[in-house]
Amino acid sequence: MKYRTIGTDPDHRREVSVLALGAMLFGSRTDEETSFAILDRYVEAGGNFIDTSDNYAFWEDGGQGGQSEELLGRWRRSRGIGDEIFIATKLGARPLAPGTSYVDNAEGLSAKAIRESAERSRERLGVEKLDLLYAHIEDHEVPLRETVEGFAELVAEGTVGLLGVSNHAAWRVERARALATGAGLPGYEVLQYEHSYLRPRTDIPGDLFPDGSLGAAGPDLLGYLRAEPGLTLVAYSPLLKGAYTNPDRPLLTGYDHPGTPPRLQALREIAREAGATANQVVLAWQLGGELPIVPLVGTSSVAQLEENLAAVDLELTPEQRARLDAAH
């Protein structure tokens, strides 16, 4: 395994594995025995960066979520896991009632919701401190200042380490960070967005956010990342839910456009040259690029995890990377 530093504050920055493990379906669609086996193998391979959310996976049973955090809590206790494993979670998108959705009934990002949701997450995970806490989706009903101050209070109290943001427009991320800086408060340092080798259209909603909310990292967000070297992008759905290698898995909404076939062709050519899978080339492309990107992989089996882990040691040549980048 290889590692990189996330965060800039000496009190909270951490060395994390360059490949993060998503626990979205652990404890729901992925049963406990399989989830524990994947987690054990990930840690055995040197992985220490696990991602979840307080609303995972409400859509599986029509509830409010919490299954993933609860499973991670049971796994931590059964394995004697301490703060050597870095766990990130999110709040703001948990449905307020069973049978509803974050689209029209989310907990939101008020100071009250932030405090109460973070406390519930700490209890489910069985931790005194949340290593990284994200604002999961935008909340247009609450002033950004209230959200910024609500997160900062938890950092000051020592119950949260790093702060992150997911699925927000780049201008709202910058405004929130400017508010934090102006008030001398900690701000967002980790950004989590959908990002892969294929490029999505930016003029239509994605699969996850049919209301039109931002999910994928577009040119604005990537440009912002280039301009702010202290930030890190955690890329979710880097393998587009299996679409690169599974012919029965259609591309996510927005990825089926004229620019996709040339990039797929380049990807397959490089995979053949490298003796690797298309998935491994995608991950290696993200890991070795100019931007600070941590791919977040979700797996439902140890075999899938093994394929992803092998990408950490796959080195693309400058010529191969140039061909991948130039395809359009």
Output the pTM of the full model.
Answer: 0.96
Q: How many domains does the chain have?
A: 1
Question: pLDDT (tens digit, 9 = 90+) per residue, 167-186?
Answer: 999 999 999 999 999 999 99
How many CA within 13 A on the CB side of residue 100? 12
Average pLDDT for the chain: 95
Instruction: Write down the pLDDT at residue 37.
Output: 98
Instruction: Write down the pLDDT at residue 35.
Output: 98
Per-residue confidence at 207, pLDDT binned at 50, 70, 90? Answer: low
Would you say residue 188 has pLDDT above 70? yes
**Higher-confidence position of 9 and 160:** 160
83: how many CB neighbours lie within 10 A of its CB?
12
- 3-class DSSP state for residue 253? coil
Per-residue confidence at 122, pLDDT binned at 50, 70, 90? Answer: very high
Angle of CA points 78, 157, 39, to nearest 5°: 25
Question: pLDDT (tens digit, 9 = 90+) per residue, 284-315?
Answer: 999 999 999 999 999 999 999 999 999 999 99
Per-residue confidence at 208, pLDDT binned at 50, 70, 90? Answer: low
Per-residue confidence at 202, pLDDT binned at 50, 70, 90? Answer: confident
Angle of CA points 235, 239, 244, to nearest 5°: 155
- In percent, how much of the chain has pLDDT > 90? 89
Instruction: Write down the pLDDT at residue 214.
Output: 66
Range of the domain at 158: 3-326
Bridge partners (DSSP) of residue 159 are none
Chain mean position to CA 314: 22
Mean pLDDT of 2-7: 97
- 145: domain CATH number? 3.20.20.100
Per-residue confidence at 227, pLDDT binned at 50, 70, 90? Answer: very high
Residue in the structure block whose two tokens are 């995972």: 56
